[in-house]
Structure 1
Amino acid sequence: MLLKTTKMDHEIKEQQQKLASLIQRFTPIDGIHATAIPSLALIRTSEISQPIFSVHQPALCIVAQGSKLVILGRESYTYDQSQYLVASVNLPISGQVVQATNENPYLCMRLDFDPGQIFDLIRETPCAPPKPDNSTSRGLFVSSTKLPLLEVVFRLVGLLDTPKDIPVLAPLFIREILYRIIQDEHGHSVMQFAVQNSHAQHIAEVIEVIQSEYAKPLRIEQLAAMVNMSSSSLHHHFKAITAMSPLQFQKQIRLQEARRMLLSGSTDAADAAFQVGYESPSQFSREYARMYGLPPKSDIKRLRHTLEMEY
């Protein structure tokens, strides 16, 4: 058994090195690189980064070299080449590359997906059935990377060498990648959003409303009625999936959007506060500083300086 485990570990390490070499070949400079496969992006970073705040869309992220820290609410997830990360629903997070050098840059692939693809797999393949109690799981998880997943990811990225094969083979490889994920130990965290009338599906609808109407006052009773849930049930399942309350979720969306406005130079802090739904500029400044570490004006000055240094 020990010999078999050692051999498997060696094969996984070898496959990781092959994937890292492949990604490095297609990412000659630092940054996020779109590819000929629309849902696939390759990422390279040659130094430890500052925290980057964003709304993480449903995606698989596999690190081939280096490591990254992701923070969701008050929870932190660190993953490297031995693990993969999946976000199953839109979530406001901060991400920071914590291991990268010029000689050994951070190398990662990100594959976006949607619940429709998972729904097709559930319907057409003998996947494990959803939990019968309609319970909800966190919409983001880190899991150990297995050899079959690495192998099909390598084949997918390798299609960039033969673009003519992409239209036929990429959908097949993506389907297998998603199949490997939902068959893994945390598969329910992905499958739950594809189950009709599940609590998770209702929470995904609520998340979409909060994202699109973040500047409006948050009315839990209306959101609950919209998805036919009680206010207490909505709050419970929302927090189970996102690691935060609906109000905390909205606050992060508001502050991220305000920061984007300020960075673009299109408005000042007081106006940005009103545009994203704050009635009090002072409250906005306090919550902004709590999230980003500095009040708006100082944070934007620091952020612009960082961007100038990078480019």
Structure 2
Amino acid sequence: MSVQETDSEVKEKQQELARCIDRLVHTDGTHPTAIPSLRLIRTSTVSEPLHTVHEPSLCVIAQGSKFVALAQETFQYDPASYMIASVHLPVCGQIIQASEDSPFLGIQLGISTDQVLDMMKETSSAWRGKINSGRGISVSKTKPLLLDAIIRLVRLLEMPQDIPVIAPLIIREILYRVLQDEQGDLVRQFAVIGSHAQCVARVIQLIHSGYDQPLRIEDLAKEVNMSPSSLHQYFKKVTAMSPIQYQKQLRLQEARRLLISESMDATHAAYKVGYESPSQFSREYTRMFGLPPKSDVKQLQDSLYQGI
């Protein structure tokens, strides 16, 4: 099949996927579905930059465009490409193409290390060890076979009686397609016991479980049988930041949630997420979000009221 024929087939399937999503969701937002790991996304306006922790997942756009910033790196994807995150990563995302007439439409499918390991065991898709570690997020060109499987998965939402039996099979097919793709090794590396990437993934779990506690790189390195210098090196390769920078982003994102969702004052939020100095918290919060805590919360609340 020629490149032109492949591109034409991908475009047709993108349009079909967009129609499927449009039939199922009619309001903006991220919508959970009867398939636990699958969420449908619809947005009719260009969004402000949103700080969040991206879960391990496959993200496919049927209509619109988005960029995701990881530290100083930016990943842009659209219907011609898909994004996959292999570990939890603090990112800043923004939908950059969307309108009332042509809303942003996409899907997010959660993936797990166990799923990757199971697929590797049952196929010849062994990790070839070509790379010691790479970014925990990557963007690849969308292929027709991958899109076809995703369309069939989304269509199952209109046949809920079939979901328990058929959804796991299609999800396995989707994961198989991803592992066979050009970025397959970047996904496999996080499932291989003893690989540098798998050790980094374990450290990420440890930081998440104790983000409000003092971070000691020596203790983390000991947990995964690495030297502190090696852990620092490979952690930065995967996340584009140091363990301390990673923890700081988690703390600040959680503090922002506490300020907005629980109406907590800045000092209380600072202590809650592990800061010992409210003034340091305010400086780092301002550096990350562009405004001091009180002003940032007011601006966010005003924008929410304007949207009502």
Length-normalised TM-score, structure 2? 0.97
User: For residue 64 of structure 1, what is the amino acid of its counterpart?
Assistant: A
Q: Hey, what does 1:87 align to over in structure 2?
A: 85
Q: Hey, what does 1:9 align to over in structure 2?
A: 7
Structure 1 segments of 4 or more deviating over 3 A?
Answer: none
Secondary structure, counterpart of 1:194 in structure 2:
coil
Query: Is 1:147 aligned to residue 138 of structure 2?
Result: no
What does residue range 135-174 of structure 1 map to in structure 2 within 5 Å?
135-174=132-171
Q: CA deviation at 1:16?
A: 0.5
Gaps of 5+ in 2: none
Query: Is 1:54 aligned to residue 72 of structure 2?
Result: no
Contact 1:130 1:192 in 2 (8 A): no
For each residue in 1:130-170, what CA deviation from the matched residue of structure 2 results, as whole angstroms up to 9, or x when unmatched?
A: 3166x011000011101110111011101111111111111
For each residue in 1:24-70, what CA deviation from the matched residue of structure 2 results, as whole angstroms up to 9, or x when unmatched?
A: 11111111111111110000000001111111110000000000110
Query: Is 1:204 aligned to residue 210 of structure 2?
Result: no
Contact 1:137 1:188 in 2 (8 A): no
User: For residue 152 of structure 2, what is the amino acid of its counterpart?
Assistant: R
Q: CA deviation at 1:307?
A: 2.2
Alpha carbons of structure 1 residues 34 and 265: separation in structure 2 relative to 1, 3 Å: closer
User: For residue 66 of structure 1, what is the amino acid of its counterpart?
Assistant: G
User: For residue 9 of structure 2, what is the amino acid of its counterpart?
Assistant: E
> In 2, distance between residues paired with 1:200 and 1:154?
31
Q: Return the match for 1:40 from 38, 42, 53.
A: 38
Gaps of 5+ in 1: none
User: For residue 270 of structure 1, what is the amino acid of its counterpart?
Assistant: T
User: For residue 41 of structure 1, what is the amino acid of its counterpart?
Assistant: R
Q: Return the match for 1:289 from 272, 286, 289.
A: 286
What does residue range 192-271 of structure 1 map to in structure 2 within 5 Å?
192-271=189-268
Secondary structure, counterpart of 1:102 in structure 2:
coil
Q: Return the match for 1:300 from 280, 297, 305.
A: 297
State how many pairs are aligned: 308
* Identical columns (%): 56
Secondary structure, counterpart of 1:193 in structure 2:
coil
Q: CA deviation at 1:128?
A: 4.3
Secondary structure, counterpart of 2:133 in structure 1:
coil
Supply the RMSD in Å over aligned alpha carbons: 1.2
> In 2, distance between residues paired with 1:31 and 1:172?
27
User: For residue 178 of structure 1, what is the amino acid of its counterpart?
Assistant: L
Contact 2:270 2:281 in 1 (8 A): yes
> In 1, distance between residues paired with 2:111 and 2:16?
24
Q: CA deviation at 1:308?
A: 2.4
Q: Return the match for 1:125 from 109, 123, 126.
A: 123
Contact 2:84 2:138 in 1 (8 A): yes
Contact 1:89 1:139 in 2 (8 A): yes
> In 2, distance between residues paired with 1:309 and 1:174?
40
Q: Hey, what does 2:65 align to over in structure 1?
A: 67
> In 1, distance between residues paired with 2:179 and 2:26?
33
Secondary structure, counterpart of 1:37 in structure 2:
coil
Secondary structure, counterpart of 1:303 in structure 2:
helix
Contact 2:53 2:88 in 1 (8 A): yes
Secondary structure, counterpart of 1:157 in structure 2:
helix
Contact 1:270 1:281 in 2 (8 A): yes
Q: Return the match for 2:179 from 182, 202, 209.
A: 182
Q: Hey, what does 1:28 align to over in structure 2?
A: 26
For each residue in 1:66-124, what CA deviation from the matched residue of structure 2 results, as whole angstroms up to 9, or x when unmatched?
A: 00110111111111110000000011111111100000000010100100000000011
Q: Return the match for 1:113 from 99, 111, 128.
A: 111
> In 2, distance between residues paired with 1:275 and 1:137?
33
Alpha carbons of structure 1 residues 169 and 265: separation in structure 2 relative to 1, 3 Å: closer
Secondary structure, counterpart of 1:196 in structure 2:
coil
> In 1, distance between residues paired with 2:170 and 2:264?
45
Which range moved further: 285-294 or 259-268?
A: 259-268
User: For residue 55 of structure 2, what is the amino acid of its counterpart?
Assistant: Q
> In 1, distance between residues paired with 2:261 and 2:37?
27
